[in-house]
Structure 1
Amino acid sequence: MRVALNLVYLVPGETGGMEVYARELLPQLAQLPGLELIAIVNERAAADGDAPWNGLVQSVVAPVDARDRKQWVWGEQFHVPRLARWTRSHLVHSLASTGPGRFAGGPPRVTTVHDLHYAVVPEAHFGLRGLGMRVLVPAAVRASRRVIADSASTQRDVVRYIGTDPARIDVVHLATTLPPASAPVTSEAELRERLGLGRSPVLLSLAAKRPHKNVEGLIDALALLPSERRPVLVVPGYQTDHEAALLARARERGVASAVVFPGWLPRADVEGLWRMCAAHVFPSYYEGFGLPVLEAMARGVPGACSDRASMPEVAGDAALLFDPSDTASIAAAIERLLADEDLRARLAASGLARAGTFSWQRTARETAASYERALASP
Structure 2
Amino acid sequence: MTRVLFLAHTAAPSGAELATMRLVSALAAIPGFEPSVIYTEDGPMVERMRARGVETRVLRGAFDSRAMTIGSGPVRLLAGFVALLRLGWSVGGSARQSDVLVAESTKALVMGVVAARRARIPLVWQVHDRIAADYFGRLPTFVIRSLGRLVAHGYLANSEATLATLSTGHKPAVVAYPGVELGEELPRATQRAPEDAVVAVVGRLSPWKGQDLLLRALSETKVAPREVFLVGGTFFDEEPYRAELERLAAELALPVKFTGHVDDPGPYLRAADVLVHCSVLPEPFGQVVVEGMHAGCAVLASGPGGPEEIVDDGVNGLLVTGGDQQQLTAALDTLLEDPDLRTRLAAAGRVRAADFAIGATARTVAAFLEHLRHG
Q: TM bucket by the smaller chain?
A: 0.7 to 0.9
The counterpart of 1:215, out of the listed 211, 216, 220, is 211
Distance between the aligned counterparts of 2:142 and 2:13, measured in 1? 19
Q: Deviations over 1:60-97 (max 9, x none)?
A: 55344764554972465212222222x1x222122234
Distance between the aligned counterparts of 1:326 and 1:181, measured in 2? 33
Q: Deviations over 1:184-233 (max 9, x none)?
A: x9x9xxxxxxxxxxx8422111143222112232122123223xx11143
Partner of 1:83: 94
Compute the displacement of 1:56 (Å).
4.2
The structure-2 alpha-carbon separation of the partners of 1:54 and 1:234, relative to structure 1 and needing over 3 Å to count, comes to: closer
Unaligned runs of 5+ in 1: 124-129, 188-198
Partner of 2:133: 119
Check conservation: 2:266, 2:295, Cα contact below 8 A. no
Compute the displacement of 1:38 (Å).
4.1
Check conservation: 1:302, 1:344, Cα contact below 8 A. yes
Check conservation: 1:9, 1:42, Cα contact below 8 A. yes
Check conservation: 2:293, 2:350, Cα contact below 8 A. yes
Check conservation: 2:298, 2:345, Cα contact below 8 A. yes
Aligned residue-pair number: 342
Structure 2 SS opposite 1:3: strand
Structure 1 SS opposite 2:372: helix
In the alignment, is residue 234 of structure 1 matched against residue 229 of structure 2? yes
Identity %: 25
Structure 1 SS opposite 2:355: coil
Structure 1 SS opposite 2:297: coil
The counterpart of 1:355, out of the listed 353, 360, 371, is 353
Distance between the aligned counterparts of 1:367 and 1:258, measured in 2? 44
Partner of 1:177: 181
The structure-2 alpha-carbon separation of the partners of 1:80 and 1:6, relative to structure 1 and needing over 3 Å to count, comes to: farther
> If the length of structure 2 is used for normalisation, what is the TM-score?
0.78
Distance between the aligned counterparts of 2:91 and 2:139, measured in 1? 22
Partner of 1:321: 319
Matches within 5 A, 1:154-193: 154-158=162-166, 163-165=167-169, 168-178=172-182
Compute the displacement of 1:333 (Å).
1.0
Matches within 5 A, 1:1-378: 1-11=1-11, 14-42=12-40, 44=42, 48=46, 51-52=49-50, 55-57=53-55, 62-64=59-61, 67=64, 69=67, 70=80, 73-74=84-85, 77-85=88-96, 87=97, 89-97=98-106, 98-99=108-109, 100=111, 102=113, 105=117, 106-116=120-130, 119-122=133-136, 138-140=146-148, 142-158=150-166, 163-165=167-169, 168-178=172-182, 200-226=196-222, 229-231=223-225, 232-239=227-234, 240-250=239-249, 255=252, 257-264=253-260, 266=262, 270-284=265-279, 285-316=281-312, 317-377=315-375
The structure-2 alpha-carbon separation of the partners of 1:212 and 1:4, relative to structure 1 and needing over 3 Å to count, comes to: same
Structure 1 SS opposite 2:165: helix
Distance between the aligned counterparts of 2:332 and 2:8, measured in 1? 42
Q: Deviations over 1:311-348 (max 9, x none)?
A: 11122341101122322211111111112222111111
Distance between the aligned counterparts of 2:344 and 2:125, measured in 1? 38
Q: Deviations over 1:6-31 (max 9, x none)?
A: 334242xx241233123211222122
- Identify the range of structure 1 (361-370 vs 201-210) with the bigger mean alpha-carbon deviation: 201-210
Compute the displacement of 1:119 (Å).
3.2
Structure 2 SS opposite 1:238: coil
Alignment RMSD (CA, Å): 3.4
Structure 2 SS opposite 1:294: helix
The structure-2 alpha-carbon separation of the partners of 1:137 and 1:20, relative to structure 1 and needing over 3 Å to count, comes to: farther
